[in-house]
């Protein structure tokens, strides 16, 4: 099974092709660029480069795994729209995963830990995990000072890897489970809001 993994929930633009045909996860190719302003510009080229470098083509992919946040509105939208479009065009499932779970999937901590990413506005997105990497709390958005001080083991400001994304969805992929909707985890309202009614500045 060839799986395309993409994530735009952090400042990183991530795309990769992972082979799970043998039950093991083998990263055939990946492209990662850390640029919070270039998700829309770089994601599709990264996807095409990763597919080419993996020695395959889009029509040979079996599934897509997409990180759905938590993350900023604009960045998440780029990844989820791309995954949705490719899923429809190629007639293959697109599996959502929490981007923090994907980061945790690449960690062998052996003890409880937090995964933390930058939420801007002097806040962070975070989730708590046990020693096996299973989420026990979150995801949430809070100020760093409000996090659980008892958990000293922290993974901060990281980004998901293609391997971590696919590992987080591995059970669903291998069991051929139906894909859930690609619902973004914003955790707060977007910065952009509809303007209100105009104030009257003249006297009738």
- Residue 90 in domain: yes
pLDDT, residue 16, reads 98
Domain for residue 148, yes or no? no
**How much is the average pLDDT of 166-179?**
93
Mean pLDDT of the chain: 90
Match 């995964």 to its residue by tokens: 115
Domain assignment present for 134 = no
pLDDT in tens, 95-148: 999 999 999 998 888 889 999 999 988 999 999 999 899 999 999 999 988 887
Give residue-wise pLDDT tens across range 4-44. Answer: 999 999 999 999 999 997 668 999 999 999 999 999 999 99
* Confidence (pTM): 0.89
Looking at residue 114, what is its pLDDT?
92
Residue 56 lies in a domain: yes
First to last CA, the chain: 71
CB 97 within 8 A of CB 168: yes
Please, which residues have CB within 8 angstroms of residue 41's CB and are 6 or more apart in sequence? none
Is 101 inside a domain boundary? yes
The answer to whether residue 149 sits within a structural domain is no
Give me the pLDDT at residue 192, please: 46
Tell me which of 65-74, 120-129, 150-159, 181-190 is least confident. Answer: 150-159
Looking at the structure of the chain, the number of domains it has is 1
- CA 155 – CA 105 distance, rounded (Å): 12
Structural domain including 71 reads: 2-106+159-174
Q: Band the pLDDT of 191: cuts 50, 70, 90.
A: very low
Residue 168 within a domain: yes
In this structure, what CATH number is given to the domain that contains residue 86? 3.30.420.40
pLDDT in tens, 41-88: 999 999 999 999 999 999 999 999 999 999 988 899 999 999 999 999
**In-domain check, residue 139:** no
Tally of residues, the chain: 204
């Amino acid at each position: 099974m060839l799986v395309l993994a993409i994530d735009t929930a952090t400042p990183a633009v991530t795309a990769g092709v992972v082979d799970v045909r043998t039950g093991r996860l083998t990263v055939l190719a990946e492209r990662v660029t850390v640029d919070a302003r270039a998700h829309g510009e770089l994601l599709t080229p990264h996807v095409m480069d990763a597919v080419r470098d993996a020695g395959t083509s889009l029509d040979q992919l079996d599934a897509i795994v997409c990180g759905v946040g938590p993350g900023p509105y604009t960045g998440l939208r780029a990844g989820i729209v791309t995954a949705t479009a490719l899923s429809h065009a190629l007639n293959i499932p697109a599996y959502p995963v929490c981007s923090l779970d994907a980061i945790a999937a690449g960690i062998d901590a052996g003890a409880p830990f937090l995964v933390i990413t930058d939420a801007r506005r002097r806040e962070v997105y975070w989730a708590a995990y046990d020693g096996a990497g299973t989420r026990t709390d979150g995801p949430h958005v809070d100020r760093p000072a409000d996090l659980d001080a008892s958990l000293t083991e922290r993974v901060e400001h990281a980004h998901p890897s293609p391997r971590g994304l696919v590992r987080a969805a591995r059970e669903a992929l291998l069991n051929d489970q139906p894909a859930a909707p690609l619902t973004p985890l914003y955790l707060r309202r977007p910065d952009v809001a509809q303007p209100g009614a105009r104030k009257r500045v003249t006297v009738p």
